[in-house]
Structure 1
Amino acid sequence: MTDDKIKVLVAEDSAVIRMLLVQLLESDPQISVMGAVSDGRAAFDFVQSNKPDVVLMDIHMPQLNGFEATRRIMETKPVPIVICSATSNTKDLVFTFEAMEAGAIACVEKPLNRERDDFEALAAHMLETVKLMSEVKVVRRTARARRNYSPPEAHPVAPPQRAEAQIKLIGIGASTGGPPVLQALLAALPRDFPVPLLVVQHITQGFLPGMADWLSLTTGLQAHIASSGTRPLPGHVYLAPDDFHMGIGSDGTIILTQQSPENNLRPAVSFLFRSLADVYGPNALGVLLTGMGKDGAEELKAMKNKGAITIAQDRDSSVVHGMPGVAIALGGATHVLPADKIAQTLVTLVNRSNGIARNSDHGNP
């Protein structure tokens, strides 16, 4: 029955592409297209008077672009928004992440050309993403001023209750809803943050270069797509490349591998956290952010068992509390924190560990 179907609004300025997207969506018996509009203002107006389960949103549109339409929808009548964008233009990808910062929860590549070998795979991924995102409960975003990327002054560090190992490397894992949380976290760190950060973010293949540029432009830290053999630098962010697990070697350099997927994922957070537990032990710190599934949950607990401090994002600030929720249930989180408290906690923990261990070496890389 139609009432049981996932109701989708398509916002796309090209009539040809709009028709193609509608046809693809309607080919799935679980989906019903309840509207198709050609600009962002029409998308905003439609959502005000209707209740789609998902909006499939283009970026470049007249009247209002996808970023502004997303922002206005999320500040008034929030609904899961999936950005549907081309991946061939890095500038377009940066705009995509601007929209995710405004409240969109996922991004997919437009399946534009039926002649492409990967057309069927792109179409299937779009349909699966729309269905998964329809189950996400989004909340209203409050209007806010243009972001200021000057990080806040660090609060005075409380005296430690015990001597702690020096934190030398931070691993972060995230999935659904992760990019804006990661961006806000990194933007709140000081530019001279003394520890490298290795990040596994589950995201549609092809969007990673735009994400790296977006993070570099908006956080004050330099973000890179990781290369094998690189020795991570303090205050730099290294993103696991598409289709490669990322870890850390015994010599302290980044390793990339195409070993079998873990939790049906490559890159997997589990691979990164396991390598940090094995190589750095108590000198690592793990952070598990919002995301579907359980990737990295058991391995966060393994890090904790090796003496590392571990952080899981709390339920209220997570778009999806799958990965961090499983880690918490397993007893794998030293701290359970809202998204806006994680950066300052990292600063405090790193400052404290460096203060304790400044003149000593624990023997790890």
Structure 2
Amino acid sequence: MLSSSSIRVLLVDDSALARGLLRSLLEEAGIEVVGEAVNGRQAVELARKLRPDLITLDLQMPVMGGMETITEIMHEKAIPILVVSSEADAEKACEALEAGALEVIAKPDYTPEQAGEFVRKVRLLAGVSVITRIRRRLPETSPNPDNEWQWQPSHQYLARNYRQAFAIASSTGGPQALTRILPLLDKSFPAPILLAQHMSDGFVEGMVQWLSSLCQLRVKVAEDGELLKPGCVYVSPSESHLTVTANHRVALRPRVEGEIYRPSCDHLLCSLAEVYGRDAVGIILTGMGRDGAVGMQAIRDAGGIGLAQDEATSLIYGMNQEAVKLGGVHREFPVTALGEEMQKILEMTPAGYLQALGRSSA
């Protein structure tokens, strides 16, 4: 991570009031603002000229909007981008992550918590190495844009009593990774998937709507007390922590003041280990920090399966690296292979899958 005094930031927002607030928060933290842009076209020109360490970007702007601006910058010479936008643009903000932005955050006010989160994000993301992108297409799927869903058991499911549950833990770069995993799973996927994705308050619902448009699976915000069902992805609200109960229902734990990770990956993974034991499958993806490492170890200790996104395909090899170091990961895979591995786990017993992993690594 760069020191605050060496970070150079370009502010992009058509609101002088918003730019003034962000400038004051950054300068109070000792971070240099090297320029301001009032529209996307100006942002592209200043990014080319000033080469800042980070760009903060609003999505709603004249001349050139935020999405087009991200695409221009990321396809010309990539610079880390933090989207700072209204919660009303939550779904579009998540699309901005797919276009190349690193994270999204709500426009802060003068509350210490929001101001502190904004400055912390700038410090973390300014040192991230990003690469110039080439245009590509998402996997061909039959999306479920209206989130209309009724699970239809496959013949494979009817032939076997499935008991597994999957938990995915991710942070920075996670939404982008999820678009390489979830769209590859069929709507008859015979197990529930629980997701703890670090996300600023107000943006989870937008991410759910965005993922729903890409997936055959049902994707929804988890609700306290609901029964877990196969073929459904339960996404933790950022305002609470997603866990599961002994009778396979959702339990949302309140967030404690001062907690850095929201929602907690460790809370989810540890509860899955306790309830499902050897039938628990933990998958940890890209992200900063150590959240999830303890939970992945708990799953492995319970006899379950632990997989991780590998370094080469991770935007930030942090959380997954810590889980590997602690010993909670059986094998790392490229993000594009994780969906296939999830299917393989369901075709075998947990013990059979782990034996196959052992043979393939021998």
Report the TM-score when normalising by structure 1: 0.85
Q: Deviations over 1:8-30 (max 9, x none)?
A: 0111122332233223322221x
Query: CA distance change for structure 1 residues 307 and 108 in 2, over 3 Å: closer, same or farther?
Result: same
Q: State the match for 2:51 in structure 1.
A: 51
From 143, 165, 183, the counterpart of 2:135? 143
Query: What residue in structure 1 maps to residue 75 of structure 2?
Result: 75
The answer to whether the Cα contact below 8 Å between 1:261 and 1:267 also exists between their aligned partners in 2 is no
Distance 1:46 1:311, change over 3 A: same
Does the CA contact (< 8 Å) of 2:241 and 2:253 recur in 1?
yes
- Paired with 1:264 and 1:26, the residues of 2 have a C-alpha distance of 23
Q: Secondary structure at the match of 2:317?
A: coil
Matched, 1:6 2:27: no
TM-superposed deviation, 1:147? 5.9
Deviation at 1:266, TM superposition (A): 4.5
Paired residue for 2:91? 94
Q: 2:289 aligns with which of 293, 305, 309?
A: 293
Letter matched to residue 283 of structure 2: V
Cα pair 1:215 1:222 within 8 Å, conserved? no
| Paired AA for residue 144 in structure 1 | R
**Normalising by the residue count of structure 2, what TM-score does the alignment of the two structures yield?**
0.85
Q: Structure 1 stretch 20-29 or stretch 190-199: which is displaced more?
A: 20-29
In structure 2, give the amino acid aligned to 1:179: P
Q: Name the amino acid aligned to 1:141.
A: R
Using a 3 Å threshold, how does the CA distance of structure 1 residues 311 and 146 change in structure 2: closer, same or farther? closer
Deviation at 1:332, TM superposition (A): 1.4
Deviation at 1:70, TM superposition (A): 1.2
Aligned to 1:159: none
- Distance across 1 between alignment mates of 2:139 and 2:27: 39
Identity of aligned residues (%): 34
- Assess, with a 3 A threshold, how the Cα gap between structure 1 residues 23 and 3 changes in structure 2: closer, same or farther: closer
- Which digits, 9 at most, give the CA deviation of each residue in 1:65-121, with x for residues without a partner? 21221122122211111000111x2xx111100111111111111125x5xxxx332
Change (3 A) 1:165 1:172: farther
Deviations, residues 313-344 of structure 1 (Å, cap 9, x unaligned): 11121122111101111221112011111112
Indicate if the aligned counterparts of 2:239 and 2:255 stay in contact, CA closer than 8 A: no
- Partners of 1:59 and 1:335 lie apart in 2 by 38
* Alpha-carbon shift at residue 253 of structure 1 (Å): 0.9
For 2:329 and 2:128, how far apart are their aligned partners in 1? 24
CA RMSD of aligned residues (A): 2.5
Query: Which string of whole-angstrom CA distances, capped at 9 and with x for unpartnered residues, describes residues 174-227 of structure 1?
Result: 111111112331112112211111011111111111111111122232221111
Aligned to 1:219: 215
Asked if the contact 1:173–1:287 (Cα under 8 Å) also holds between the matched residues in 2, the reply is: yes
- In 2, Cα distance between the equivalents of 1:145 and 1:226? 29
Equivalent in the alignment of 2:155? none
- Structure 1 runs, 4 residues or longer, greater than 6 Å off: none
2:226 corresponds to: 230
CA distance in 2: counterparts of 1:102 and 1:129, whole angstroms: 19
| Count of aligned positions | 334
Deviation at 1:230, TM superposition (A): 0.8
Cα offset, 1:312, TM superposition: 0.8
Aligned to 2:175: 179
- CA–CA distance in structure 1, aligned partners of residues 46 and 224 of structure 2: 47
Aligned equivalents of 1:61 and 1:322: distance in 2? Answer: 34
Could you list the runs of 5+ residues in structure 2 that have no partner in the other structure? 144-159, 354-362
From 305, 313, 318, give the equivalent of 2:301: 305
Give 1:351 deviation, angstroms.
Answer: 2.9
In structure 2, give the amino acid aligned to 1:178: G
Contact 1:150 1:188 in 2 (8 A): no
Unmatched runs of 5 consecutive residues or more in structure 1: 152-163, 358-365
